[in-house]
Amino acid sequence: MEHIDKSRFAHVGESAHDREAIARPSLTFTQDAMRRLAKNRVALVCVVLIVLLSLMSAFAPIFSPFDYREQHYGHTNAPMFSVCDDESSAGYGHMHLFGTDTLGRDLYTRIWMGGRVSLIIAVTTAIVDLIVGCIYGGISGYFGGTLDIIMMRLLEIINGIPYLIIVILLMMVLEPGMMTIIIAYSTVGWIPMARLVRGQVVALKQQEYIAAAEAMGAKPARIILKHLLPNTLSVVIVRVTLAIPNAIFSEAYLSYIGLGIPLPKCSWGSLAQLGIQNFRMYPWQLLIPAICISLTMLAFNMFGDGLRDAFDPKLRR
Amino acid sequence: MKNRLLAWLLCLAMLLTIGAVAVAETNPNAGLGYYPGTSAAGSIAVECSTMSVMNPIKMTYNTELGIARHTQDCLVKLSPVDNQIIPAAAESWESSADGLTWTFHLRPGMKWVNSKGEVVGDVTAKDFVFGWSELLNPANACEYYAFAAVFKNAQAYYDYASGVPGAPEVKLEDVGFKAVDDLTLVCELENVLPYFLQYVKFEVMSPIYEPYYTEVGADNYGTSPDTMLYCGPFYMTDWVLENKITTVKNPYWWDAANVELDAINWIKYIDTNAKMNAFQGGEVDLIDVTGDQRQMFTAEGFKVSNYIGGYSFYLYCTQDDPARDISNKNLRKAISYALDREQLINTVFKNDSEPAPTFALGISGVNTETFSEAILAANGGERLYPVNADVEKAQEYLALALEELGKTVDQIDITFMVSEGTQNELYNQVMQEQLRKNLGIEAKLEVLTITEARARRNAHNYDLFAGGWGPDYNDPMTDLDLWTTNNGNNHTGYSSKKYDALIALAMVETDMVEREQIFVKCEKLLAEDMPIIPTYWRHEDYVVSEKMVEGYARLPFQSYNLIYTKLAK
Amino acid sequence: MARYVIKRLVYAVLTLFVLITLVFFMMRMLPGDPFLGEKAISPTALANMNAKYGLDKPVFIQYLMYMGNCLTGDLGMSITYNRPVMEIVSESFLVSADLGIRALIFATIAGILLGAVAAIKRGTVWDSLSMFIAMIGVSVPSFILGAVLQYFLGLQLRKVLGMNIFPIQGWGTFKHTLLPAFALGLGSLATVSRLMRTSMLDVLSSDYIKTARSKGLSQSQILWRHALRNAVMPVVTIMGPTVASVLTGTFVIESIFNIPGLGKYFVTSIKDLDYTMIGGTVVFYGALLIVCTLVVDLLYGLIDPRVKLED
């Protein structure tokens, strides 16, 4: 072995200051998660995409030369990029970027009008889903016993009542509009989530860290919120992202039976439904709303994956 | 009476032509090689929308009656060639001088067959008596019992049997239909009915074989192919509820020699894309198509057929609630002038449907081909309702209306009540937009299920509701008596003493020309008071595969008549 | 175990009772009248129709009668179809279940495999493929998927090949089940594969897998004996109600492919206000749902030894 001369090394000594310094900044759980999320490029791209779709929905209809309900009788089912030839319209000479629908309404304007409705519904119902489902499932799973059985039977009952009946009855009481749609979906939308969370909690509550928390005198609310739910997070996030397109289509279903947003307003779901009628002749009428929905879904899904990676305590390093 | 004479003449004419092969429609695409149709030899598959009930006395839907037309034989039926009454189970008939007693002579040798094609019994006059008695039996709760209520004492019997308080006792034997012998049926009517044969041809008036009916039980009869009997050109062998019915040629039918088809499969479609795919893929031979599909077929060079079912469409307007803006007559007129009926048809239906010039459609006139022409003639050739929007006139009426209501345009509150369905929603959205554009009125749309919409329509709890009316028989009365005060189908609350008096006058008027003039006055009064805003007369589009060459018919009162369809060789 | 099952069965009967009661009174609150047709009916005829279906009695009496009949297995006569509800439900359920079982087998097996493979080979092509399929399954609803499959595989493929591989519509042969089962199953497949992937990732990073690995167990032993079994839990949870709803069919798939299943009656009975039919479908679906969740809860105990069935 080659000899290394000791003189090549010098003792630097240690400074008390350096020794006490904290190499990494002190971070709370949330800060740590956000930091990791910010490092995830895919998740960031998805956030940008969602913001972009939201901005377009908010502003594109305002700047469009066409009104979302204005019908051009001479120009129905026009292909993409066709120029409006209706002299009585404010949009005369402008281009129908996405063509027109079966009544000659500008699809570009309608897509973004529809985006307003669909995105708001998607996000709010996802939040309701998350809050109600997690708490209900958490309580039911953690306490177990008779309470669990009763709470789960209640779910079965709500699940057993036909959605259509609930919706029609709601329609008698409420004015048609965005709020009603959210309420209608919220009555049943959270059930799969509650079931899922409960299933996870039932399995998790046997684990040592829960026993430890209990031994330390943690209250049930703390155990559920701080210990159990964070550990179910990965599954919960998947379910939420899957619930988003569900909510969008549920709205389309509602508009089909009259509880949807009042006509002639539209949503991506209702545009897709109208598009499917003639997709063989005018495929873009279906493709454009379908792509919007898929993009939203993809963005939320990838973003969800990023969130999961960032927030899951088990993956924390 | 003129009608009776006409019936006799027709009867005679038909007797002369029996045996000759009648040709109804001819397929415009035959042999062009676009869509060859289903592959099974000798049979065809056709679209049929509703087929929930097959017991003829309990039927209510046009399409169900269409199947009964192929599996049962009434006394008379409509010709697939010219839609006139021709003999069916009855070979001949005559009526008394006062028009109250009718005697039918049945065709000898007709058989009842079951779902296996076995002969069960003979068709006799008793079977008609039994079928009509069951139609009047309150326990069966038949919606169309009224067709049998035209007989003497029939309504009184129905009321008595239903336990209506104060109804005097009437026995079934006293009701005006009797089987004198196996082949002779005598009917007595309560009132003179110019179009009595049109009632008898209605499929709910089919015969029923009593021994079999009592054996399977009234509730079970007609719930499956095996629990009913057939006496028509086809019998039913298979029925998958809400999906498919198979009917097979009945070799024992009296005119079986002229029936070329071996079987008809009736298929129910819900999805319009699915049925077009099925048609193009050769899984069905006849389907109805939407306007957009029509354009697609036309672009390919494939000809789309159409027929007029006799339906007139209009907007019901509530009259009797002064709190609603729509109760203002001038506002309704403004709406009528603001509607562009041509655009409406071109954007939504994209077919040959006509902008309604008058309300009543398709009914024969006395001296003109249609009753509508007589109205136009009396009105100096001018339409009662415009083709295109007349914004100027609309604004004029709107100004009057606003003054009477004491409101500004923004305050006008109108809601279209819409029963769900894509086509219907589009139709209403176009009218909504036209009101916005031509009147500046921001109308709302309210989409409801059909049951709720009907309930609210009947309760007059709506502003505007798009509805339609198909005639029950070939006389303007079937359309125009709707708007009398006490008519159950007058859902507008329109009540005009003048109108009621005109209809009452027409009921007793025997001079046909005079009678028609009364009807013309009714139509003009309607246009003046405007309880309804007529929109369009529907033409229904359908496509036929090249397998069906000729002999089929789609006409008013008989949406399907496929009995004598000839197939491509 | 036996005690648990008996207890659950008692609860099941109670649940069903509450469900029927609720639905009975809710459907009576629905607007409209089942007998209002397009054309007017005389009041006497309307009264006769109401009498025929017992709708002329006070609602509470009707409720008692309905409950009594339910106990004897009689779900009444359908107003729309004039035939026993039991007969319609059982006939159409056979068809829906036939299709549903195929769809479920496809969805669960393919979904679990796809999800598991995606997790094991995280970040590879397999992962992206699984994501892509899940994307289609979730973001393309069945009304689009069904229509597109029918057009391209049913109609266009037939034109191209000149032979009939996928029938466009109808029911009866094995061929007829292919497209609808795929369209019906793809949504569930997506959910299953996504859930499976996440849950598998969780499991793979857990301590007992590390322990197993350090014991020197082979990769396949770890996967089969430890990981898969534990990872499948969330999938099992979600499968309970999914099985119930897939087996009873869906309106959309049935109308696109013209399948005589049960699904459409859930929608049409409510639109037609066919009270007896609404009741029948709810009783049937409710019972099936309850049985499915019971089975799922029992499976919990079998699959995951950590879960104790509490009684």
pLDDT digits (tens, 9 = 90+) for B372-389: 888 888 888 888 898 988
Count of other CB atoms within 10 angstroms of residue C301: 14
The two counts, helices (H) then strands (E), for chain C are 15, 0
> Number of helices and strands (H, E) in chain B?
17, 23
Query: What tokens does B18 get?
Result: 């029996």
- B369, pLDDT greater than 90: no
Structure tokens at B44: 């065809």
- Partners of A261 on chain B (C-beta within 8 Å) are none
The rounded mean pLDDT for chain B is: 87
Residue A68 and residue A62 in contact, taking contact as beta carbons nearer than 8 Å: no
Q: What is the pLDDT of residue A312?
A: 66
Give the closest of C155, C167, C271 to B449, CB-based: C271
**Runs of H (alpha helix) within B186-311:** 196-200, 210-216, 272-280, 291-300
Q: Which two tokens stand for residue A212?
A: 């430890």
Residue A168 touches chain B, beta carbons under 8 Å: yes
Average pLDDT, integer, range B201-215: 92
Give the chain A residue nearest C203 (alpha carbons): A314
Paired sense of beta strands B415-419 and B464-469, if any:
parallel
pLDDT in tens, C68-110: 988 888 888 898 888 899 999 999 999 999 999 999 999 999 9
pLDDT at residue B21 is higher than 50: no
Q: Is residue A218 part of a domain?
A: yes
Asked if C37 lies within 8 A of B138 by C-beta distance, the reply is no
Interface contact B456-C31, CB threshold 8 A: yes
A87 vs C24, which has greater pLDDT?
A: C24
A18 within some domain? no
Residue C147: list chain B partners with CB under 8 A.
271, 273-274
Dihedral of the alpha carbons of B314, B319, B321, B325, in degrees to the nearest 10: 70
Residues 140-159 of C with CB under 8 A from B: 147, 150-151, 154-155, 158
Chain A residues in contact with B430 (beta carbon < 8 A): 71, 103
**Residue A154 sits in a domain of what CATH number?**
1.10.3720.10
- Interchain contact B445–C (C-beta under 8 A): no
Alpha helices in chain A (DSSP H): 16-20, 29-39, 41-63, 107-143, 145-160, 163-173, 178-189, 191-204, 208-215, 220-222, 229-256, 268-277, 284-311
Check: CB of residue B547 under 8 Å from CB of residue B37.
Answer: yes
Radius of gyration of chain A (CA): 27
* pLDDT grade for B20, boundaries at 50, 70 and 90: very low
What is the average pLDDT score of chain C?
85
Cβ-Cβ contacts under 8 Å for B482 (sequence gap 6 or more): B469, B489, B490
Strands (E), B338-471: 354-355, 415-419, 444-448, 464-469
Residue with tokens 């309210």: B446
Quick check: A237 and C147 CB within 8 A?
Answer: no
Q: Which residue has 């009234």 as its token pair?
A: B218
**Which H/E stretch holds residue B418?**
strand B415-419
B76 beta partners: B87
Average pLDDT over residues B361-369: 77
Between strands B548-550 and B566-567, the pairing is: antiparallel
C-alpha span between C120 and C139 (Å, rounded) = 25
Q: What confidence score (pLDDT) does residue B193 get? A: 80
- What string of DSSP letters covers B487-551? -TT-TT----HHHHHHHHHHHH---HHHHHHHHHHHHHHHHHH-SEEEEEEEEEEEEE-TTEEE-
Chain B nearest-CA residue for C88: B241
> Which residue type occupies B22?
A
Distance from C-alpha of B55 to C-alpha of B141, rounded to nearest angstrom: 12
Over residues B105-131, mean pLDDT = 93
Nearest C-alpha neighbor of C230 from the set A206, B455, A156, B538: A206
Tell whether A94 is within 8 A of chain B (Cβ). Answer: no
Length of chain C: 311
Q: Which two tokens stand for residue A72?
A: 């051009």
Residue of B nearest to C151 (CA): B277
pLDDT, tens only, B253-293: 999 999 999 999 999 998 888 889 999 888 999 999 988 88
Which chain C residues touch B450 with a CB distance below 8 Å?
271
Q: CA angle, A224 as apex, A218 and A225 as ends, to 5°?
A: 100
* Banded model confidence at residue B12, pLDDT cuts 50, 70, 90: very low
Least confident of A273-277, B210-214, B362-366, C9-13: B362-366
Q: Which of residues 73-132 of C touch B (CB under 8 A)?
A: 77, 80-83, 88, 91-92
Closest CA of chain C from B143, distance in Å: 7
Q: A195 at the C interface (CB within 8 A)?
A: yes
Structural domain includes residue A213 = yes
Contact (CB<8Å) C37/B143: yes
Task: Please give the Cα distance from B223 to A133 (Å, whole number).
Answer: 46
User: Which residues are CB-neighbours of A58 under 8 A, at least 6 positions away?
Assistant: A116
Q: Do C49 and B269 touch (CB under 8 A)?
A: no
Better pLDDT: C93 or B25: C93
| Cβ–Cβ < 8 Å for C135, C193 | no
Residue B6's pLDDT band (cuts 50, 70, 90): very low
Average pLDDT over residues B435-452: 87
Burial B362-379 (b: 16+ CB within 10 A, else e): bbebbeeebbbebbbeeb
pLDDT, residue B11, reads: 40
Q: Distance (Å, rounded) from C-alpha B418 to C-alpha B426?
A: 10
Q: What residues are paired with B240 via a beta bridge? A: B244
Q: Which of C139, C190, C195 sits opposite A235 (nearest CB)?
A: C195
Contacts of C282 in chain A (CB under 8 A): 160-162
Measured CA angle at B53 (ends B49, B54), to 5 deg: 100
Q: Closest partner residue to B420 among A77, A258, A277, by Cβ?
A: A258
Q: Tokens in use for B233?
A: 């050109």
**pTM confidence score:** 0.86
Asked, for residue A21, whether it belongs to a domain, the answer is: no
Nearest to C278 by CA among C52, C12, C48, C28: C28
pLDDT at B4: 40
The pair of three-digit structure tokens given for residue C266, joined into one six-digit string: 């859930």
A297 interfacial to chain C (CB closer than 8 Å): yes
Please list every residue in chain A whose beta carbon sits closer than 8 Å to the beta carbon of residue C278: 162, 165
> Which pLDDT band, with edges at 50, 70 and 90, does C307 fall under?
low
> In the predicted model, is pLDDT for residue B2 greater than 60?
no
Of A73, A102, A276, the CB nearest to B273: A276
C-alpha span between C182 and C196 (Å, rounded): 20
**Token pair of A104, please?**
């000659």
Residue with tokens 């007559």: B329
Whether A231 maps to a domain, the answer reads: yes
Q: A150 or B510, which is more confident?
A: A150
Find the mean pLDDT for residues B189-210: 88
pLDDT confidence bin for B18, thresholds 50/70/90:
very low
Higher pLDDT, B557 or B115: B115
CB contact under 8 A, A165 and C304: no
CA distances from residue A24 to A37, B87, B503, B539 in whole angstroms, order as listed: 17, 100, 95, 78
Q: How far apart are CA C54 and CA C31, in angstroms?
A: 18
What pLDDT does residue B15 have?
37
Poorest-confidence range of B53-62, B534-543, C199-208? C199-208
Distance CA C308, CA C296 (A): 13
| pLDDT (mean) for C243-254 | 87
pLDDT at A141: 84
- Give residue B133's pLDDT: 93
* Closest CA in chain B for residue A104: B347
Task: Output the CA–CA distances (angstroms, integers) from residue B394 to B8, B25, B188, B333, B341, in the order listed.
Answer: 50, 43, 53, 7, 14
Decide: B154 and B190 in contact? Cβ < 8 Å.
yes
- Chain B positions contacting chain A at CB under 8 Å are 272-273, 276, 290, 292, 295-296, 340, 343, 346-348, 418, 420, 422, 425-426, 428-430, 432-433, 436, 444-449, 452
Confidence (pLDDT) at A22: 64
Helix (H) or strand (E) holding B235: strand B234-240
Contacts of A277 in chain B (CB under 8 A): 272-273, 290, 292, 422
Please answer whether residues B205 and B131 qualify as being in contact, where contact means their C-beta atoms are separated by less than 8 angstroms: yes
Selected residue of A53, A153, A240, A270 to mutate for chain C interface (largest C Cβ count, 10 A): A153
Of B3-7, B399-403, C38-42, C194-198, which range is least confident?
Answer: B3-7
Neighboring chains of A (3 or more beta-carbon pairs < 8 A): B, C
B299-337, pLDDT tens digit by residue? 888 899 988 888 889 999 998 888 888 888 899 999 999
Picking from B197, C194, C8, C267, the residue whose alpha carbon sits closest to that of residue A300 is: C194
Domain count within chain A: 1
Buried b (16+ CB within 10 A) or exposed e, C67-98: eeebeeeebbbbbbbbbbbbbbbeebbebbbb
Residue-range definition of the domain harbouring residue A225: 112-315
For CA atoms B87, B93, B96, B100, the dihedral sign is negative
Terminal Cα-to-Cα distance of chain B (whole angstroms): 48
User: Cβ neighbours of residue B194 under 8 Å, at least 6 residues apart?
Assistant: B1, B3, B475
Residues 6+ apart with CB under 8 A from B248: B117, B234, B235, B236, B237, B262, B263
- pLDDT per residue, tens digit, chain A (317 aa), is 567 787 787 777 777 676 666 666 677 777 777 777 777 777 888 889 889 999 988 887 888 778 888 787 777 787 777 777 777 767 777 777 788 888 888 888 899 988 888 888 888 888 888 899 989 988 888 888 888 888 888 988 988 888 888 888 887 788 777 888 888 888 888 888 898 888 888 878 887 888 888 888 888 888 888 878 877 887 888 788 878 877 887 777 776 555 677 778 888 888 888 888 888 888 888 888 888 888 888 888 788 778 777 776 665 54
* Cα–Cα distance list, B37 to B234, B306, C223 (Å): 21, 19, 54
- Averaged pLDDT, C186-193: 87
Scan residues 468-497 of B and list those with Cβ closer than 8 Å to C.
487-489
**Predicted pLDDT of residue B14:** 39
Cα first-last separation, chain C: 8
Two tokens, residue A179: 């709020």
A229 within domain boundaries: yes
* CA gap A121, A251 in Å, rounded: 8
Among all chains, which residue has been given the structure tokens 């499959």?
A: C149
The shortest C-alpha distance from A277 to chain C (Å) reads 9
Phi and psi at residue B143, in whole multiples of 5°?
Answer: -65, -35
- Between strands B263-267 and B244-249, the pairing is antiparallel
Q: Rounded CA gap, A205 and B106, in Å?
A: 83
DSSP state at residue A265: -
